[in-house]
Every structure is written in C-alpha cells, then in structure tokens.
A and B are shown apart, each in its own frame.
Chain A
C-alpha cells in the first residue's frame, strides 16, 4: 500500500474530503464490514428440504458450505408456506447441528447403572440376536385353534417423524417377522380422524388443502389451536380474513388463535358433540340445509332398518348393546334392504355376516382401515327422495338431535345461547351455492373416548350445509408431525396395511378371497380391493408371491383384537412383550399415563431407542420419576437399553406426507456424523442381517422373512439404501418393472406390484413426482405441479360435489370442477376426483359392481353407496350417529341422558396404575377432583419435547412447565401468579408454575360453575428446559374405534405449592384415591 493510499484510507481524511462530514457513514465503514457476505450467498450449494416439525410441510432451503449445513430457511417457492417458517422451523439449524445431538451408540447392560459405549456394528448384531431370540421364544402359530402366525414378544412405536420410505420398511420388515404391535404417533394423535372422516366420506385424510382456506367465507376453528400449533398454515386464515371471511374459534381457552379470530367461544372441554349437535339441530329445524346437495350427494334419503333404535328411544344407547361387554352388535344399524361395508372403521365386524361364518376370535382395531376408501353396500338401498319416510336418515337425524336445543347446548357446553346462535347464523349465512364454510380441527377433537364421533359430527354438519368437495369448504384436519399422514397411509399401525387395507384378523380357513369378500365394498373403488391387496403382497414378497400360493396371504400375521400401543403397554407389564423399538417417539412423556409407559419398559428384556438426544424414554432407568420416588431402583431393572443416534432430515433423502396428503421429497444435504444413521439405514440393515442369519432355515415361521423382497440398492460411504428405490416400490410397477402411473392400472392376478395403492402415481414415468418444485408464482393457486398429492394428485377430495347433479358449478363464485359435455369429460381447476368420463346422467345397470356401479351423481367414490354419510350404518363400533357423552372423568352428570353418563362402548383399562375418578357419581361427600383439565401444545415447543426442549433458542421462549388458571380459580384455591401449583389426579401429581389469566374463564354447565385448567404437555425431566409431564396425570381411557386416549378433558385437583418429593408423592396419591373412594370398578361401568 502506498503512502497516498494509506492516507486516503484514513477515516479522518475521508471524513474531511468526502461526503460524510460527520464521519458517521461511508467513512466509518471498517474493512471487516466491507467484506461481509451472507452465508446464504457464499454457500457451496442449496439443498431442497422440508421442515421436520408439524405437518404443514413448509419447504426449506438448506445451505451447505464445506460439507456442513450453515443455514436453513424457508423456500419462497412453496405454495403452502411461501418461504415462511415458525419458531420451530426457524430453529431447525440448531436442531440439526446443535450440541444436544448425540452421535455415538450407547448401551445400558441389565441392572447397569450407567451408559457404556458400543460400536455400531456390534450393537446391530446384538439387536439382531435379541430380535431372533425373542421371536423364537414368543412365537405363536395358533391362538385358540386359529392360525395367527405371529409374535407378541416384540413391539415398535414411532414413525410420524420419519419418512414414508422408512415407515414402509418398518411395516414391511416387522410384518415379515410376524410382529403385529407396530404403532406410531398417529394412534395417539389422529387415529380418530381416519375413522371419522373415512366412514363419512370414504377417505381418512383432510378433505382439502391449506391454501384453499383463502376461499372460505366462514372458518370455524374448533378443537385446534391453529395459530399456535400450525403458525405458517395460519397465514391462509389471515388471507381469508383479509377478504372478509368470518373467523370463529371455539375453545376452552382464549389462545393466540382466539386473539386473531372475530369471535371466541369458550366451551367446556369434552362437550363439542353437544355444540355441533346443536348446530345440526338448528340447520334441520330451520331447514337451512343445502337441500339439493343433501338429496343428491348424501344418504339423507336412505331408509334405515326397522330394527334400529336411537339413543332417544333407549335412554342414551343405540340398539344392539351388550350391556355386559359394552360391545354393540351393529346389524340393526344397517340400511333397509342392503348391507353396506364401511370405507373405514371396523370392517372385520361384518366378517361372519359377509362370509357366512368363520371363527372370529375377537374384533377390534379395524376402524381406521378404509381410511382411504368407502364402505360396502350389498344391494341398492331403499331411498325416499321426499325425505318424509319416518325411517329415512334425514328424519332419524332430526329426531336424534331434537333435544340439542340452544338451552341444552348452554347447559352442556357452558356456551351462552346468544353466542351459540351467532355461530349457527354465521355458518348458515355462509353456506349454500354461493358461499362455503370450512371447519378446522386437530387433536382437541380426536383425543376423547368419543373421538371418532367428534369428527363424525362435523362431517354430518358439513354435509348438511353442502360444504364438502367445494372450494373454501371441507374439513381441515390439522396433523402435527411431519409425516403423520404418511405414517397412517403407509401405516406403522397395528390394524392397517398400506393404503388402509385392513390387517387380517384371525379366522378359521380364511384365504385371500374370503378376506377380500368380507372387507371390500361392492360398489365404488373399494370394490377393487383384491387388486390393491395382491399388488401389495407382490411388493412385500416379490417372486415368492404367486397365484398358486394365494400370493403369500398366509404369510401375514393375524390380529386377535386390539394390539394398539396401549395394549402393548399392558403386554409389557404382564411380561408378554419383551422387546421394544422406539423410533422417534417418546412415550415416557407423550403417551397417556406416562408412569405405566415407564413401568412397562422397566419390565422389558430389551429396548432400542432411536433419537437425536437422550430423551426420557431412553433414560427412565437411571433418572426417571420412579427412581426419585423410590418405586424403582436402577440396580433392580433388568432391561437392556440400546441408544442409536438418528440422522436428521437434512442427512437423508425421503418423502414426508403433509397434513393435506402432499408427498414432498427432501434431499440429503450432508452425510450424518458419527454413528448417526437414518431409520431407512437401520431398518434395511437390520432386515439384511436377519435374513442372512436365517438363510437356509426351514422353520415355517422363517419363511415369510426369507420371502420378503429386500434388495434395495445402497450408496455412499455409509451404505445408505436408495430411498428413491423404496419410493418406486411403493408406487408400483408392472411385471417387467415399468413404473405404474395410476392405481386404476392395478391388477388382481399378480401382474402388478404396488407397496401402497393410494400412492400409485407418485413415481409415474419413473420420475419422482414428490420432488416437483415448480414455484407457486408460476402456476395457479391449486399449484398442482408442486409435489404430489394422493390420490392421483387431487387436492380437494370429492370435488365432483363442487358441481350440481347436472355437472354445472353450483355458482360462478364457487366453480371448481365441472362436466364438459362437448369433451365428454370432467374438467376444472383440480384433478377431478371422479371417473373422468362418467357423465352426470349416467346410471349404472343393476348388476354393476365396483367403480362401474358409481352413478354420475355419486361424488363419494370410495363409499359403498357413493354418498356422504350423515348416518353411518357400518364402520364405527359406538353408534351410527354422534351423541353427547361425558368424558371418562367429568365433574358433572350428563345433562342429556340421565341414565348414560359415558360412551357405553368406550375402552377403559382397569389397572392398579390406571384408576378413574368417580366424578359426580361419588356417593356422599364432595368430589376431590372438581376441576377440568385440558392439555395442549405451545408454538414454541413440539409434542413430547424431544425436538425442542433441547434447543436453547426455543427453550428460552417457554422455559418452564406452567398451568393456566382463571383469576376466579386462583382465588378459590389460593394460587399465586408465577408461583407454584400442584395438579393431582388418581394417577399422578405434577407441579407447574401458575399463570393466572383472564384468558381462562369459568363456565356454567351442569348447573354449576366449571373451572378449567390448561396444561401444555411438552415437558419432561430431561433436556435444556425441564419440567413435569402432563401425562403423569392422564389415564388410559380410549375411544373404542381407534384406541385413542382421552387427554383433552380430564378432571383434577389443584393446590398451591410444589409437589412432594420421594415416597411422599405416591403417598399423596394414595390419600387422594382413598378420599375419593376409588376402587377397581370406579368409572368402568357400561351402563349408567
């Protein structure tokens, strides 16, 4: 540098000679500042990815420099997220590269007091040993004389945070091994959705997509804290609002969603069916239903069997109840002159009737199957288009809901009648040919002992208002894990096979044909079930599956009742289940009755945990709550624990299915470090090693494993399986290997294979359609060329209903899909969800079956009668229509039925660790658990906390477990704002900081004041922010259709101060149980 340059670079020189006389601008720029470049501009590459948190499916750009991820932010091209991310999505860099992640395999030997290191290869071999040993020891050829071909000794939990391809391998390998207890977060989050929407419309997914919210004239958010749990999706509510839509939030709490709504309606937790039933009554009584839509597209006119009796006739129960077992015989619920199978729900229930015999051991767990398809009707049912027949569905509904008056709604829900009528008016005024309203819900509706019926109630209402299949209408089920829709579609669920095919139950002499005959529908696309099933068996067993051996149908293990994650816990406690895989799920915090979860694990032989960090489910043996209370001693626990560090979404390729059925591909950006591996790697190599060990075995139970098609190519230094090859198998191919492009190409003769028939088309033409990323600014608002949606890339389901029976749009304003008579095809803004060339005037011949039997006015093509179901003649085990029952634990008597407090068919597990509250039934004395508790998520955290509590940037935003109470309750119980409170139930007691807020409001219901307590459920004893887990309080009380737990409406006591430590804690609980007079029978009665 010359002297001249040196002088000129001197700020003072620049100040006096330049344009910056005060020396505060250009002259002050330092060399460092001059050289600043954003790392987003200097990255070596930008990799396209998808956010791993909730199921909105926000697109991410991952910036890589020197083989390290240096930044992750939103991808502005995405039509759903438009480049935005919530705080969790914005913290993805810390999640994937932060110091909380573990990169080494850890091992805890039986009775060991600390972790030891293991190398990955040894650990894999040890897991193989244990799987094979336990499988041998617990193998069942038969149960009660019927072939079951399985092991109950091994279980697996988790999948909703994983890729579709990983879920596919989990289900495939475990099914091959005869492991049936395969479950994931979908069980505890949205299983009720699949049964509720599936039986109503034919498919168990949300009927619409998030951007379509902008077209709504009224949005009712109920059972969801949309703005907090799905912030980026909420932008579409704001869009609708900016266009004048009315936004209503019905929720026990005033949340960040309520703050942005036009109207917040506080409601008593657990009373939504009464609220929705009240609106149904309002619509029917004022004849505000969309009559032409209702007549043409629903089963309103269908006449029901004369054997059917309503809850109004039988004092709170439907006909067919066995008052001892709590099981319904559903025969009397059927249509007159027809026998329909449901598109979803409990399809095995009809096995005997439909096959003319067969030995059913037990039936449960079929309610979600047909989550992608409709029900089955034997012959054409009798219809009365005048709707005057006293037994037509319309009249039955009218009678059923006659007592759901505004006064009854006020009494049950605590909602003032004027407020209730305002909601009714908003919905009615904003529904019809010119206008549409949309419902949005999440787990506030699903997690109840009547969860599936909550969804049915909304479905019924939306059908009556003519809002299904139309723009701005529908039911938006907000799902909360990156691929929880995918882990339902390609299910890691005990009762389903891919594409909502039911897992077979154990029946004598059952072959493929009798199985299909029993569970398929005669009309609609479930009529082709055999093609879907055979193609799946070909994908599973490859060349071994032939027509001669029934395509290896006998290889499939058989169910004998429910084997949900909650039954698995019981099986662990009684010693039946000895080995457990946790694949990205944290039941020690996230599942109901967390203590039972831990004690179940403490009774295992071995446990495999795959996660990012040492979550509570991995360390309970060392520092869990039972160690603190002295109920367990580390040295006494014999469970072997393996911890395998998992790869993050940035370190593997695969697809997530978002809440609106879009499959979105994320590409690996970097290799995982240390021992971290993808779950695809883990499952593939586990299967490979097992098959190598069993090679040459002649044992009959090893045949299914050896026959599994398991030849996926691997790549890279870690021998990572090629996820795209798994996707190609899921998509399906012809016998000569050509990719299929539509499920209509599937054959039932073994000439096609397909790993998930509803995903057929995602690899059409050999192109990964899920990886499509055409920017939303370059296409129309439906954005059909972004990713791929099942089925067949349709974005709004049942969109045939957006046109009138003649095929014309109901109105210009709401035109979406219509019949083009000149072209002889359906056309419009979306892929028509209909037979493309079926004219509106088409009427099938009487003997037609399957899709050929759909008429031109049957928009619900998966349903056995082509109609939306206002009344479900099959599919649900607790009634054909939703009716209000009190939650398992409730402070009041059911105002609707004096003789029926709770859902008579609910599933309650009476166990010393799982006691229920007497509630209003307590003879004499007061209820020691007088307050209602509801659990929920916060924006700043995620589920059981495994992906957020370890993140400093998120932890500091919500640093402690808290409870929210009203000023009135605080005064009643002496709770101090920001102080501590202890919340107590018969199952557990937790402490939490107190937020006293007017956002919680006491209600009047059942003739008394109801105080509600809000509890986020994210905390547990590990992590960067620690706290007690809300699930210490909850009980295992389940919806009988889908075995989902009731955690949205509990009762509890609350008292000031911190909870007792050590043995004083169980003592406190014992004292409460004694005081409440709780026995093993409390709250378990069917009737009463």
Chain B
C-alpha cells in the first residue's frame, strides 16, 4: 500500500494493475489478447463465439457495403468486430524465403500436431518466443509497401485485403473504470476491465471516457456492455470464447508478458520475410494508456483499421487537476484563514 503513495495510478507505466487494484500478491499474471492480423482470415468466428458465450443479442441486419464488414464497429451488442480493408497494395506476404530445405518436416511431424505440443495451445503460426530475440524497441521498418506495387502484367495493381478482429483493449489505465461512479466497472485479478451488470446503473459516464469508443449503452436497457475477456471462463482456467474458436490463432490469449514477447518476435519474423508494414499497436507500456491488455499486430497505420493512432487515457490529467484544484482550494482556504486571522488581530478592527 505504501508503494501506492505518491504515484500516479491513472497514467504512466504500471507494471501491476491488478495488484494496485487491491488483488493480493498471489493474484494471477495479467492476461491479455494478442491479435495477429497477418493471419486473420476474416471468418468472424470470434464474433459468433463471443455472442454465443455471452448471449449477446443480434443487432441489426444491414448490408453496409463496407467490404464484408456488416458489423461496423464495437458496441454494447458487438464485443468482437472484424474490420475488412480492401487496398491497392501488393499482397503482404508476396516475398517469402522459398527455400526451407533445412526444415526437417518429419522431425516436426514426430512431435505431434503441426506445432510442438507445448506451443500448440498457444499459437501454431508463430515460432517459439525464445527462438527470435525480442526487439520491442526496434525502429519501425521503412514503409515501403505504402507505395502501391508495380502494376501486374495485365496493367492492374496488386490487391491487399486486410482483416482484423477488434476488441476492448483492457487498458492498463482504463478511463471507463476511473470515471465509473458506482463501482460497476472494476479491475479484475487478471488485470482486465469488466462491467458488473448487477451494479451498473446506466449513468453512461464511461461511454465518452473511452479513448477507443468501445464501451456502449444497450438500447432498451441503458446499462453498458463490453468485452469481459470472458471473466467467468478465466476464473475456471478456460480461455475466452473468441480465442478458443479462432481457426488460425489470429487471436491469441495468454499472460500479457508472454504475448508481448511473442508479438515482438513475430514482427521481426515478418520484417525478415519482407513484410515491412508489420507493426504492433497497443503493446507499448509507455503509451497514452499505459499499454493495452489487448494489443495487435497491424499491417498498416492504425487509422486504416479505424483505430486511434495515439490514444490517451482521458483521465490522465485527473491527478494534476486534483493537485491544481487542491492548490486552489488551499489557496482559497489560506486566504480565508488570513482574513479571519486578520480580523482577530489585537486591535484589528476593534475600537
């Protein structure tokens, strides 16, 4: 508790959000999502698995014309949303190291499934985190692919179809939680941010507070709803429904530290194979929300996916505001005190 004194709990690096929210020293590691959009096939299994598990209502039959995205965005009735972006850019993975004669397929095969069993539950499509040295602060690769590729022989420019499953970021510094007046939103022992439906009174303060526009009030109900990272399942040692369903393990669930390491290695691997566009989003503990509990590997700028480029926790300045308010109050009080004190001075005002 003493460690909390004098620290800004609403912004900046925060290594242990669960511990600082009163979960004892034995609390589980912080859990998170790493969504690797480079292997997303846009199937939307995450959306359906989420709705089935959480019994979320269907929310509208509207063909949007936004590629294959008829979900449009996260909201009270959509806790996973797959974005589709059609671009005139070369295929992200056009350059591959074709020679892999050094890989012993049968030795791999003898290990069991396509992936060594130890890793199978985690991700099959990325190498072991230890295999590549993580370099989270490596300078971003030149954005070569931002320039449309050379036209194909038929005169057409190559296409790229980006798909990405968005979700609540479970921010390290979650403004929704900071502004909630009822305690409906709380920080769990897994470091995630969850709405308690039995407490929420529908005041809606959290809605404008969210820098990502995630949390939302349900029509005809008033209360707010968002991804819980399947808090109930986590408590029983089960992974969230979306991550479990994901056919290509684009959505990976696990201890956040491990995910960050794995993600850094994946970015490096993609850079090596010529996918210069690959970058992480929400993985940096120094960013405006102290890093996200759900972060992403993107193949283009965040804006392309409808994500804010530099989100900042809207309550970042609360401590300093309080400090200033405190100083102002103290000044005011001091002034008043001075007035009273002056009045009581011997002879002051007395006749």
Using a CB–CB cutoff of 8 Å, the interface residues on chain A facing chain B are: 11, 14, 18-33, 36-38, 40-41, 71-74, 76, 79, 82-91, 93-94, 211, 214-215, 217, 227-228, 231-232, 234-236, 238-239, 241-246, 254, 256-264, 416-419, 429, 434-435, 471-472, 776-783, 812-815, 829, 938-940, 952-960, 962, 977-978, 993, 995, 997-999, 1001, 1003-1004, 1024-1025
Contact = CB atoms under 8 A, between A and B. Distances in A.
Interface in B193-241: 194, 196-199, 230-233, 235-236, 238, 241
B278 to A, nearest CB: 14
A82 B198 CA distance: 36
B161 A87 contact: no
A89 B177 CA distance: 35
A258 B183 contact: no
Contacts of A90: 45, 48-49, 52, 241, 245
Interface in B121-152: 121, 124-127, 152
A333 to B, nearest CB: 39
B97 to A, nearest CB: 6
Given A37-B235, A959-B63, A84 B245 contact: yes
**Closest 10 interchain pairs by CB?**
A25-B21, A20-B22, A244-B100, A978-B65, A26-B22, A952-B58, A959-B61, A28-B183, A259-B161, A416-B153
Nearest to B109: A781
A290 B60 CA distance: 56
Contacts of A24: 21, 177-178, 180, 183, 185-187
Given A243-B103, A259-B41, A28 B249 contact: no
B112 A777 contact: yes
Contacts of B303: none
A770 to B, nearest CB: 21
Contacts of A72: 52
B27 to A, nearest CB: 9
Contact of B52 (A76, A91, A940): A91
A261 B23 contact: no
Contacts of B199: 28, 30
Contact of A20 (B21, B45, B184): B21
Given A25-B23, A89-B45, A959-B62, A239 B114 contact: yes
A73 B71 CA distance: 23
A235 B245 contact: no
Nearest to A40: B238
B24 interface: yes
B106 interface: yes
Nearest to A816: B106
10 contacts: A20-B22, A27-B183, A38-B232, A38-B233, A72-B52, A79-B113, A84-B246, A243-B108, A777-B120, A813-B104
Contact of A231 (B18, B43, B105, B238): B43
A780 B107 CA distance: 10
A53 B202 CA distance: 40
Contacts of B247: 84-86, 231-232, 234-235
Interface stretch (B87-95, B285-293, B304-312, B331-339): B87-95
Contacts of B9: 22
B93 A262 contact: yes
A172 B126 CA distance: 50
Interface of B: 1, 4, 9, 18-24, 39, 41-45, 47-49, 51-53, 58-65, 67-68, 70-71, 86, 88, 91, 93-94, 96-101, 103-106, 108-115, 117, 120-121, 124-127, 152-154, 156, 159-163, 177-178, 180, 183-189, 194, 196-199, 230-233, 235-236, 238, 241, 244-249
B42 A25 contact: no
Contact of B126 (A242, A776, A782): A242
Nearest to A73: B244
Contacts of B86: 997-999
B161 A256 contact: yes
Nearest to B115: A239
Nearest to B237: A41
B91 A939 contact: no
Contacts of A472: 105
A507 B166 CA distance: 65
A78 to B, nearest CB: 10
A260 B39 contact: yes
A201 to B, nearest CB: 23
A914 B234 CA distance: 58
Contact of A977 (B19, B65, B111, B160): B65
Main secondary structure of the interface of B (DSSP, over half): loop
B183 A11 contact: yes
Contacts of A259: 41-42, 91, 160-163
B91 A214 contact: no
Contacts of A999: 86, 159, 161
Nearest to A430: B98
B1 A19 contact: yes
B106 A815 contact: yes
Given A777-B120, A956-B61, A959-B70, A91 B233 contact: no
A90 B244 CA distance: 10
B289 to A, nearest CB: 15
Nearest to A779: B112
Contact of A244 (B91, B103, B196): B103
A244 B98 contact: yes
A939 B70 CA distance: 13
Nearest to A78: B113
A316 to B, nearest CB: 28
Best-surrounded residue of B45, B112, B249 (most CB of chain A within 10 A): B45
Given A244-B97, A960-B61, A21 B45 contact: no
A977 B67 CA distance: 10
B36 to A, nearest CB: 11
B242 to A, nearest CB: 9
A264 B156 CA distance: 13
A246 B94 CA distance: 9
A1025 B58 CA distance: 12
Nearest to B21: A25
A1079 to B, nearest CB: 37
A781 B97 CA distance: 25
Contacts of B115: 239
A995 B86 CA distance: 12
Given A26-B21, A38-B236, A264 B91 contact: yes
Given A73-B244, A90-B241, 11 more contacts: A24-B186, A79-B113, A82-B113, A82-B124, A90-B49, A227-B43, A244-B97, A262-B93, A416-B153, A953-B51, A958-B68
Contacts of A32: 196-198
Contacts of B60: 956, 959
B118 to A, nearest CB: 9
A745 B120 CA distance: 40
A85 B47 CA distance: 12
A260 B39 CA distance: 7
B181 to A, nearest CB: 10
Contacts of A88: 48
A235 B103 contact: no
A257 B39 CA distance: 11
Contact of A940 (B44, B96, B125, B183): B44
A956 B120 CA distance: 32
Contacts of A25: 18, 20-23, 186-188
Contacts of A418: 153
A227 B23 contact: no
B1 to A, nearest CB: 6
Nearest to A93: B52
A87 B45 contact: yes
A627 B297 CA distance: 53
A441 to B, nearest CB: 18
B34 to A, nearest CB: 16
A242 B22 contact: no
B22 A246 contact: no
A74 B248 CA distance: 14
A846 B43 CA distance: 57
A780 B110 contact: yes
B249 A235 contact: yes
